[in-house]
Amino acid sequence: MTRLITCLDEPESYERVQVRITSVRTWDVRFPTSRELDGSDAMNPDPDYSAAYVELRTDSDDQLTGCGFVFTIGRGNDVEVAAIEALAPMILGQDVDALLGDMGTTWRWLVHDSQLRWLGPEKGVMHMAIGAVINAMWDLKAKRSGLPLWQLLAQMTPEEIVDLVDLRYLTDALTRDEALAILRAGVDGREQRQRALLTEGYPAYTTTPGWLGYDDAKLERLCREAVSDGFTQIKLKVGANLDDDIRRLQIARDTVGPNIAIAVDANQRWDVEEAVRWVAKLSRFDLAWVEEPTSPDDILGHAEIARRIHPVPVATGEHVANRVIFKQMLQAGALSVLQIDASRVAGVNENIAILLLAAKFGVPVCPHAGGVGLCEAVQHLSMFDYVAVSGSLSGRRIEYVDHLHEHFITPIQLRGGRFQAPLAAGAGMEMFEGSLSRFSYPNGAGWSGVPT
């Protein structure tokens, strides 16, 4: 389904003095990935990778658009689209230069709206919808600058970067002065790190072999291919059946050998005690980390699990609702690997806040990217983090899944198990018009004859 929301026509006598946002176009885009069980895990056995997609158009002569989305896995994608459309009256007619020229103020204007805020605050469907719009604005800003988003962010001054961030609720863990100190320390070496990134790329790990619905033969084949493709870490979904997990991990370890890291992901399946017992049975496979062992809202539960399964690290974050929960997880020692998501929180600005928190606590960031377009989007945040925030690749990898990249105008480029730094202007979230049309739900041609 596609919807177009536009400004009223201008009278002929109107003399344009500013570039304005003239339309907000949305799509409910879904891909039938459940047919091959791509993306399947212990809590989500039949996902259809989906995007509540938004395009912002302006009356500028350059005809550039800003594109963003919220990732979902099927049912409810229409609800997310409706949330994005609810923002359209606030955005239409706005001065583009004013919005993009002060993205910190723009973020606060949308997130702190007194009526919208009641629906969260700062969590859930509306917060994610704001993130899609904010990301679309960053896409437009990067296109207008002629730079990829990671490079646009990395060339900002420490003061400009901190001005993007809302430090409310964070100052007991991260003050403005501390954030500035982190960024100022990263100024030295920025150019060298940027050159290294452009030459060598950014490390990746792959979840492609590990979907829970794949049979053993497919698991073994994909593990072998992952090693051949240069990946030094893979990830397997676990949590539905312990005996199956042990068997599958044994196949994976036998296939990849002792020098390839294997992480596991329970997708929130367990209670605390169950997580501790289950991980104890799997730890003999030398786990790189255990991901989402319990509810993403259970800060103290994660902390207890982390304490009791040490030295196996806990990784989490793809379902963490906002920067405040991340702050508390870091304060409580509830995670050792922080996993940002490009479309879970309110866009680029909030993810910068989370990157700064991770740098303050010395915790590596390994983004979640298991979904349509998430690899394309989140690579910009990791690359910005390396160049301008943490200054480090130690313990850091971006998740890679081999699905649906062909639908994006600037798909990720992978070589030797490493993301190659994107060079095209924008944030990487723009899809082909034909893909939007073909997989528009429920009437697109890609859904013809597909059971719903």
pLDDT at 452 over 80: no
- What is the pTM for the complete model shown? 0.95
Which residues, listed in sequence order, are joined to residue 24 by a DSSP beta bridge?
A: 5, 56
* Among the listed residues 21, 254, 239, the one whose alpha carbon sits nearest the alpha carbon of residue 136: 21
> Which string of DSSP letters, residue by residue, matches 318-350?
TT--SHHHHHHHHHHT--SEE---TTTSSHHHH
419 Ramachandran zone, left/alpha/beta (phi>0; psi -120 to 50): beta
Helix (H) or strand (E) holding 264: strand 261-265
* Active site (catalytic) residues: 237, 368
CA separation for the pair 311, 147 (Å, rounded): 41
Tokens of 330: 């870091």
Confidence of residue 185 (pLDDT cuts 50, 70, 90): very high
pLDDT tens digits, one per residue of 23-33: 999 999 999 99
CA separation for the pair 129, 346 (Å, rounded): 8
pLDDT tens digits, one per residue of 60-72: 999 999 999 999 9
Percent of the chain residues topping a pLDDT of 70: 97
Contact status, residue 378 vs residue 398, Cβ threshold 8 Å: yes
Average pLDDT of the chain? 95
Percent of the chain residues topping a pLDDT of 90: 91
Report the b/e string of 9-45 with b at 16+ CB within 10 A: eeeeeeeeeebbbbbbbbbbbbbbbbeebbbbbbeee
Confidence of residue 450 (pLDDT cuts 50, 70, 90): low
Confidence of residue 9 (pLDDT cuts 50, 70, 90): very low
Q: Count CB neighbours of 59 within 10 A.
A: 15
Tokens of 419: 């993301």
- The pLDDT value given to residue 11: 39
Confidence of residue 10 (pLDDT cuts 50, 70, 90): very low
Which amino acid is it at 157? Answer: T
- The pLDDT value given to residue 17: 62
pLDDT tens digits, one per residue of 323-367: 999 999 999 999 999 999 999 999 999 999 999 999 999 999 999
Contact status, residue 48 vs residue 371, Cβ threshold 8 Å: no
- What's the longest Cα–Cα distance across the chain? 75
Contact status, residue 33 vs residue 205, Cβ threshold 8 Å: no
